[in-house]
Structure 1
Amino acid sequence: MVRTFAMLAWTWTRAAAAYPVSFALMIAFGCLMGAVDVAVILVVFANTTALGGFTRAEVLFLYGTAGTAFALVDMCVGNLDKISQHIKAGTLDTMLVKPAPAWVQAAVDRFTPTRFGRVLQAVTILVVALADIGVPWERAWMIPVMIVTAMAIFASLWTLAGAAQFVLTDAPEVVNAFTYGSGQLAQYPFSVYGRDLVRGVTYVLPLAFINWQPGLYVLGKDDPFGTPGFLRFLGPVAALLLALLSAFAWRQGVRRYRSTGS
């Protein structure tokens, strides 16, 4: 499956790179779009020294980890939110009769390598924030773990969104709000949100394990909501459970699907 994904992604990348000026401009545009989110954070800290008990560097660290994972997943599997278009056009039928998994084909269809600009921008912010914070080496091991965990959670959310479109074929904006909204939510410390919301994204939909719970461990901070300390290390478990749920939902959606006949 990985080999198939890589081959298809490389095909789309070569097609996009055939127009080098457009390719470079789109990457630069991605960096610029990401910079707008950072500008909002900087504007906030131009008028305060802390946001929800976090300094500017700490907020940028949370932004960088979530942004890096989100941008990578958006680039690789973000096209899963176009399942409803495939259903209406009848192109999903052709995916189902090909030897490659339909999930891989839908994810990599019209792969957009120019979204790498958002990845580059988020990684840059993360590196700058880490240099400013100075995370001790005994806690730094959590950073790659939390990014991989966040990628698994975001990919699972996109898979759930794609599965939902087998039912909600006329409401792709609803699932887009679900995926992109989660990415926006994770850009800020959860201490700025209400207690009930944080409970929901901790114990129901595990968005808190994208960067909030493991981020508290990296930064050496206590949870202002008083959650148990062991939750800082349960990100991979939460990601696995969500991945299993999304895989089940996708399989049920495919089984439920009836050909358009076109």
Structure 2
Amino acid sequence: MIRTYILLAWTWVRASAQYPGSLAMLAIGSFAVNALDVVAIWVIFEHTRSLAGFNRAEVMFLYGTSGLSFALSDMLFGNVDRLSQHIKTGTFDTMLIRPAGAFVQMAVDRFGVHRLGRTIQATVVLAIAMPGLGLSWSRAWMVPLMVLCGIVIFTSIFALGGALQFLLVNAPEVANAFTYGGSTLTQYPLSVYGGELVKGVTFIVPLAFVNWQPALFVLDRPDPFGLPYWLRFAAPLAALALAGAAVLAWRAGIRRYRSTGS
């Protein structure tokens, strides 16, 4: 499966490379557009020393980890949210008869290497934020784990949104509320939101495990909402549970699919 993904992705990369100028402009544009989010953070901290008790370096850390997880997930698997377009045109039928998994084909379809600009931008932000935190290795080990878990969580939501498109015409809009909306939500400390919302993104849609709960451990901070301490280490469990639900939902959607007849 991994080999198939790499081969298909390389095919799209080679196709995109035929127009290097356009590819470079798209990547630069993606970098610049997302950099505006960082500008907004800097503007906020020009008028205050902390945001919900977090300083600038800590907010940039939250932004960088969330942004990097989402950017990689979106670049590698984000095309799954276009499933309804393939169903409507009948092109999804051809994916089902090819000797490769339908999910892999959907994920790599028109592989967007230009999205690398967003990944680079998030990486730069995280690299700038990390030195200002003064982390010891006893806590810094959590950072790569939380980014990996964030990728799995966002990818699972993309897959769940794709599975929903087997049933609902406007499912992409529903899924985007949790993928792109979830990315925006986790860019800031969850303590700026209400307690009920935070409980919802902890125990229902586990977006809090993208970076918030692990970050409380990394930054050695108490939970403002008084949630159990062990939740800070539960990101892998939340990611695996959501991934399992996504796999079951995707398989159920494939079984229910009856083709467009085209």
Specify the TM-score bucket, using the shorter chain as the normaliser: over 0.9
Residue 25, structure 1, aligned to residue 32, structure 2:
no
Q: Which residue of 2 aligns with 1:151?
A: 151
- Counterpart of 1:2 in structure 2 is 2
State the TM-score, normalized to the length of structure 1.
0.98
Match of 1:214 in 2: 214
Where structure 2 has 5 or more consecutive residues not aligned to the other structure, the ranges are none
Q: Which moves more between the two structures, 163-172 or 147-156?
A: 163-172
Give, in angstroms, the shift of residue 141 of structure 1. Answer: 0.4
Q: Distance in 1 between matches of 2:246 and 2:28?
A: 33
Are positions 1:127 and 2:127 aligned together?
A: yes
Aligned-partner SS, 2:86: helix
**1:48-71 CA-partner distances (Å, limit 9, x unpaired):** 111111001000000000000100
Give yes or no for the alignment of 1:252 onto 2:247. Answer: no
Structure 2 counterpart of 1:127, one-letter code: A
Displacement, 1:183? 0.8
Q: How does 1:19-168 map to 2 (within 5 A)?
A: 19-168=19-168
SS for the counterpart of 1:26 is helix
Identity among equivalent positions (%) equals 56
How far apart in 1 are the matches of 2:208 and 2:72? 19
The structural deviation recorded for 1:209 is 0.5
Letter in 2 for 1:67: G
Aligned AA (1:233): F
- Structure 2 Cα separation of the partners of residues 144 and 37 of structure 1: 22
Q: Which moved more, 1:182-191 or 1:172-181?
A: 172-181
User: How much has 1:175 moved relative to structure 2?
Assistant: 2.0
- For residues 68 and 178 of structure 1, the distance between their equivalents in structure 2, rounded to whole angstroms, comes to 16
1:174 and 1:233 mapped to 2: Cα distance? 29
Give the number of equivalent residue pairs. 262
Alpha-carbon deviation of 1:135? 1.1
2:164–2:171 CA contact under 8 A, matched in 1: no
Q: Which amino acid aligns with 1:150?
A: G
User: CA 1:233 to 1:170, structure 2 compared with 1: closer, same or farther past 3 Å?
Assistant: closer
RMSD of Structure 2 on Structure 1 (CA): 0.8
**Correspondences of 1:216-255 after superposition (within 5 Å):** 216-255=216-255
2:161–2:171 Cα contact (<8 Å) kept? no
- Cα distance, 1:171 vs structure 2: 4.3
Q: Could you tell me how far apart the structure 1 residues matched to 2:68 and 2:170 are?
A: 30
SS in 2 for 1:36: helix
The AA in structure 2 aligned to 1:55 is N
Q: Within 2, Cα distance between the matches of 1:21 and 1:228?
A: 51
SS at 1:53 equivalent: coil
Deviation of the 1:177 alpha carbon: 2.1
- Tell me the distance in 1 between the aligned counterparts of 2:169 and 2:13: 29
Query: Where do 1:160-179 residues align within 5 Å?
Result: 160-179=160-179
Alignment partner of 1:44: what SS? Answer: helix
Kindly indicate whether the alpha-carbon contact (under 8 Å) linking 2:13 and 2:113 is maintained by their aligned counterparts in 1: yes
> 1:46: Cα distance to partner?
1.1
Q: Which amino acid aligns with 1:64?
A: G
Q: Note if contact 2:146-2:210 (Cα within 8 Å) is conserved in structure 1.
A: yes
Q: 1:170 to 1:210 in 2, by over 3 A?
A: closer
The structural deviation recorded for 1:174 is: 2.3
Offset of residue 245 of structure 1: 0.3
1: distance between equivalents of 2:91 and 2:120?
A: 33
For residue 52 of structure 2, what is the amino acid of its counterpart? G
1:165-193 deviation line (CA, Å, top 9, x unaligned): 11112443222222111111111110000
Residue 203 of structure 1 is matched in structure 2 by 203
Q: Secondary structure of 1:255's match?
A: helix
